[in-house]
Structure 1
Amino acid sequence: MIGVLVTFTQTDKFDRSNLAKIAGELRGPFEGMAGLRFKSFMLGEDGVQARNFYVWDDEEKGRSFFTQELIDKVTGVYGAPPTIEYLDIVGFVDNSGA
């Protein structure tokens, strides 16, 4: 399993309602996506960072998803280029089925 943290940083605060709209509009393609366990759309407490967190069952799928084409596309959507961090998930708790 691999986690991927994608961070968009602006000098001005992101508009929370605009980020919620983006999350709603972009949710569909991720539902049922092969290899993707979950994805979250988040806003940092300071408001200047929007973050997306992914958990992939397969490292290769997780890494190959973030193409230059996708990076260019999300830069346009968020108005800032992302930084992408790949994280080795060594343990995982999932209470969603409880």
Structure 2
Amino acid sequence: MIGVFVTFCYGDNFDEQAVGKIAETARAKFDGMPGLRSKAFTLNPGKREATNFYVWESEDAAKAFFTDELLDRVTSLYGVRPNVEFVQIATLVENFRA
């Protein structure tokens, strides 16, 4: 499994409500996405950051998703270009039961 941190660093123009609305609107696009186990949209108002964390089944699936075109789109949407960091997931605990 591969994790991906996508972090948007804002200056004085951080708008928590606007970023939260982006997350709510985008959520449905990720439901049932092939290769994606989970995604969390996070806000850190103290640091003026928004970080989206993805858990992918494989590195190939993750890298296929994060194209230059996608990064251009999210830069336009969020107003800042994100930093994208891939990490290996050693193990994952999931307590959700349907």
* Counterpart position of 1:74: 74
Residue type of the partner of 1:77?
Answer: L
**Greater alpha carbon shift after TM alignment, 77-86 vs 10-19:** 10-19
Identity of matched residues, %: 47
Residue type of the partner of 1:59?
Answer: E
Deviation at 1:29, TM superposition (A): 1.2
* Counterpart position of 1:59: 59
* Aligned-residue RMSD, C-alpha: 1.4
Structure 2 distance, partners of 1:46, 1:66, is 27
The answer to whether the 8 Å contact 1:4/1:54 transfers is yes
| 1:93 paired to 2:93 | yes
Name the CA shift for 1:91/1:3 in 2 (closer, same or farther; >3 Å): same
Structure 2 distance, partners of 1:57, 1:4, is 11
* Counterpart position of 2:28: 28
Deviation at 1:18, TM superposition (A): 1.2
TM-score, length-scaled by structure 2:
0.93
* Counterpart position of 2:44: 44
Runs of 4+ in 1 over 4 A off after TM superposition: none
Q: Which runs of 5+ in 1 are unaligned?
A: none
Deviation at 1:19, TM superposition (A): 1.6
TM-score, length-scaled by structure 1:
0.93
Task: Say how many residue pairs are matched.
Answer: 98
**Greater alpha carbon shift after TM alignment, 8-17 vs 61-70:** 8-17
The answer to whether the 8 Å contact 1:3/1:87 transfers is yes
